[in-house]
Every structure is written in C-alpha cells, then in structure tokens.
C-alpha cells in the first residue's frame, strides 16, 4: 500500500529480496521434484521454469543436493513445529491426534510437504540422509507419544503405539503419490474423511 518513495532499497529489503528469490527457486524445484522425481529433474529445467539460467540457481544454492535439502528443511520445520504445537492443544488425546493428523496430511499435499514424503534417502549423501532420517524419526516419535497419551487417558485403544503410528502415517502419506490439486478435489475434506476412516476401522461397532 505505502509506496516506497525512494528507488534505493535498504539492506533489509535487499536481504528480503534475496530470500524471496531463494524461496522461488526452492518452490519451483519442489514442484518439479514432486512431479518428475529428483533424478529426472535437471536444474536446467528448474531454471527454465523460472526463466532464469542455471548458474543463477548456483548463485543462491550451492548445488543440486542443497536445493533438495532446502526444500526438505522448509517442510520438516513446518511439520515439527506443528507436532510441537499439537501436543499442547486443548481436548483429549484422540482429538489432539486427529487435529494433528489433519494438519500433517494436508501439508503433505502441498509442495514442500510432498517433497518430504516423496524424497528417499538415496537421493542425498549418507550424512544428510542420517539427518533427514533423524528429523522424520522425531515426527514419528511425536505421533507415537500422542498415541501413548491417548492410551493412558483412554481416548485411544491400540496394542502397539509404534506400529500404529507407522500405519497412520503411511495411510496419510500415500495421497502425496496420487493427489492432484488441479483436479479440484478439496484437500481438507479428503483428509478429514480419511482420518475418520482410520479412527473407526471397518468392522461394525455395537453402540
């Protein structure tokens, strides 16, 4: 709204500028990685989709792996923060879990979330794979902790919280493979219904 009267940008503006360009590169890259796979996507393709040249990407990000890691960082950070927040949300454990799962599953259908889901550890160095695995593990552990809370307060029934967490996450990860936002399907509606399915199972309930 308020126009900047001077054509000269401040240091902060320049920094923000740079950051927004970096983010644009990462977003474009994440989309193409998700669409065609990491190995099948060349940085020339990514550059072309932004009408820039490949060395420009190298100006903002050191190499192809850094591009991938940048995408993952954004996705994992969001997920970890959401999981942190979910643990101290109101309601019983089952409600907290369901709310978090909805957030988790919806995010998995967006650019950076999808990238976290679709990337496999073989696409990066062994060191970074270990870090990636560790972050995914933290998310898994937080889901498991919510389930265990539910077992204690009686709002969740299950035998093996660990396997349960794996099963839930698997079911909610899979749409990242097939969901196409362009088809107009409503993502939040979709995940809500999937979570209800997972909550209830398919065997008849007497009650």
Partner DNA sequence: CAGAAACCTTACTCACCGGTATATTGCATT
Partner DNA sequence: AATGCAATATACCGGTGAGTAAGGTTTCTG
Start-to-end CA distance of the chain, whole Å, equals 58
Joined together, the tokens standing for residue 84 give 């942190």
Q: How far is the CB of 7 from its own copies (least distance, A)?
A: 45
Measure the CA–CA gap between 33 and 115, rounded to whole angstroms. 7
Q: How far is the CB of 26 from its own copies (least distance, A)?
A: 21
- Cβ-based neighbours of 41, under 8 Å, separated by 6 or more: 29, 32, 33, 35
Residues that bind its own copies (CB under 8 A): 35-37, 39-40, 94, 97, 120, 122-123, 147, 150, 154-160, 163-164, 166-175, 177-178, 190, 193-194, 197-207
- Cβ-based neighbours of 53, under 8 Å, separated by 6 or more: 47
Residues that bind DNA (CB under 7 A): 8-9, 11, 14, 17-18, 21, 41-45, 47, 51-56, 58-59, 63-65
Residue number with CB closer to DNA (24 or 134): 24
Measure the CA–CA gap between 122 and 11, rounded to whole angstroms. 39
75 binds, among DNA, its own copies, none (CB under 5 to 8 A by kind): none
Q: Tell me how crowded residue 11 is: count the other CB atoms within 10 A of its CB.
A: 7
Measure the CA–CA gap between 96 and 146, rounded to whole angstroms. 8
Residue number with CB closer to its own copies (18 or 193): 193
Q: How far is the CB of 46 from DNA (least distance, A)?
A: 8
68 binds, among its own copies, DNA, none (CB under 5 to 8 A by kind): none
Q: How far is the CB of 26 from DNA (least distance, A)?
A: 14
């Amino acid at each position: 709204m308020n126009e900047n009267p001077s054509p000269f940008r401040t240091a902060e503006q320049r920094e923000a500028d740079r950051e927004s360009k970096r983010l644009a590169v990462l977003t474009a890259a994440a989309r193409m990685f998700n669409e065609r796979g990491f190995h099948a996507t060349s940085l020339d393709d990514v550059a072309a989709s932004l009408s820039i040249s490949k060395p420009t990407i190298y100006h903002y990000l050191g190499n192809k792996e850094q591009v991938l890691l940048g995408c993952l960082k954004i996705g994992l950070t969001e997920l970890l923060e959401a999981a942190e927040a979910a643990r101290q949300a109101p309601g019983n454990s089952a409600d907290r879990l369901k709310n978090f799962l909805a957030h988790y599953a919806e995010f998995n259908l967006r650019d950076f979330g999808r990238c976290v889901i679709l990337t496999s550890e073989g696409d990066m160095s062994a060191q970074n794979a270990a870090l990636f695995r560790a972050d995914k593990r933290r998310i898994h552990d937080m889901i498991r902790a919510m389930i265990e809370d539910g077992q204690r307060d009686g709002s969740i029934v299950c035998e093996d919280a660990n396997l349960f967490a794996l099963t839930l996450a698997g079911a909610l990860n899979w749409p990242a493979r097939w969901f196409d936002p362009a088809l107009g399907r409503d993502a939040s509606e979709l995940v809500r219904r999937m979570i209800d399915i997972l909550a209830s199972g398919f065997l008849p309930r007497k009650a």
